[in-house]
Amino acid sequence: MKLIRSTIAVASLAGVMVLLASNAHATDEIQVYNAGIAEIGQFTIQQHLNYVALGQKNPPFPGGLASNHSLNGTPEFAYGVTDWWEVGLYLPFSIQDERFYSDAFKLRTLFVSPHAEQRNFFYGVNFEFSNETPPFSQSRFSMEIRPIIGVRNSDYEFIVNPIVDIHFGRFAEQHFTPAARIARKFGDDLFAGFEYYSDLGQIGHFDRFSDQQHTLFAVTDFKAGVFDVNFGVGYGLTPASDRFVVKTIIGYAFPVPGQKPDTRMSSGPVNPFTHAAARAFQP
């Protein structure tokens, strides 16, 4: 019962925060990219939040943050430059023991197949540059390379993100952290499925399986008024993984300049099918 109450409390807190505004380390973004982007000239915002109800009690390195009982997240701001290019800004943070920690900022640039939400086969690649603070990483600067490969039909979609994390400087490492998603459409604005996240360790010298991070999430995507919502509950499959995690992403797409509000499309990464895509794939 205590665990259930904690889950409900975290979900409520996520909603309030949005309205008002493993060795595993704190993760601000738990998401599989699906090659969806903002329209040309459109701004979008997403609030990522995840709560580690039962996680790693030891920090991943001296002076680092242990993930257990931490609330992590980031506001993400994005802008559609072309129909195949989007840029974004993150401001990651973590709250632990009633103390707020900032992880500086991240910049990203995302390139995708145009109108990916209308394609049966879609692809892209995201480059993310991070300026990190000591509690979050031993490396000041890091980079993420996230390829996106996906297929979909009228009922299902399957996406793989074979991610490479690169840390620079004295503690330079290159980790392979693949993620994947399979989801089924149950209605115009309702989807459910599973998402998988992992960290296999240093490329060329993968950790033993028990020391790797493998987490499986049951997820759902739906609309709440003008907001896109992704909600998931994750279970760690190895001792090095956080055992129980609740995550949510709430997104809003601002009106496209010169376009009527009721023709506005949802921001891509939260919901696997935008309204336009849902209509395009109706049997």
Q: Residues 255-280: pLDDT tens digits?
A: 998 777 654 444 444 444 443 333 33
pLDDT bucket at 26, cuts 50 / 70 / 90:
low
From 225, 240, 239, 231, select the one nearest 271 (Cα to Cα).
Answer: 231
> Which pLDDT score, from 0 to 100, does residue 188 have?
85
Average pLDDT, stretch 66-80? 97
pLDDT bucket at 145, cuts 50 / 70 / 90:
very high
> Which pLDDT score, from 0 to 100, does residue 259 have?
78
8 pLDDT more than 50 = no
Return the amino acid letter for 180: A
What are residue 259's phi and psi, to 5 degrees?
-120, 140
Q: Residues 31-48: pLDDT tens digits?
A: 999 999 999 999 999 999
Q: Residues 111-128: pLDDT tens digits?
A: 999 999 899 999 999 999
Is-above-0.85 flag for pTM?
no
Mean pLDDT of the chain: 86
Rounded CA-CA distance 132/119 in Å is 36
In CATH, the number for domain 2-280 is 2.40.160.40
Q: What is the 3-state secondary structure (H, E, C) of 183-247?
A: EEEEECCEEEEEEEEEECEECCEECCHHHCEEEEEEEEEEEECCEEEEEEEEEECCCCCCCEEEE
Return the amino acid letter for 58: N
Rounded CA-CA distance 14/229 in Å is 11
> Which pLDDT score, from 0 to 100, does residue 108 have?
98
In whole angstroms, how far apart are CA 1 and each of 9, 81, 153, 157, 167? 12, 48, 39, 34, 40
Token pair of 30, please? 């738990």
Domain positions in the chain: 2-280
DSSP codes of every residue in the chain: -HHHHHHHHHHHHHHHHHHT---PPP-S------S--PPBT-EEEEEEEEEEEE--SS-SSTT----TT-EEEEEEEEEEEETTEEEEEE--EEEETTEEEE--EEEEEEEE-TTGGG-SEEEEEEEEEEE--TTT-SSSEEEEEEEEEEEE-SSEEEEEE--EEEE-STT-EEEE--EEEEEEEEETTEEEEEEEEEE-EETTEEPPGGGSEEEEEEEEEEEETTEEEEEEEEEE-STTS-SEEEEEEEEEEPPPTTS-GGGPPPPTTTSSS-HHHHHHT--
Average pLDDT, stretch 6-11? 42
> Which pLDDT score, from 0 to 100, does residue 16 have?
34
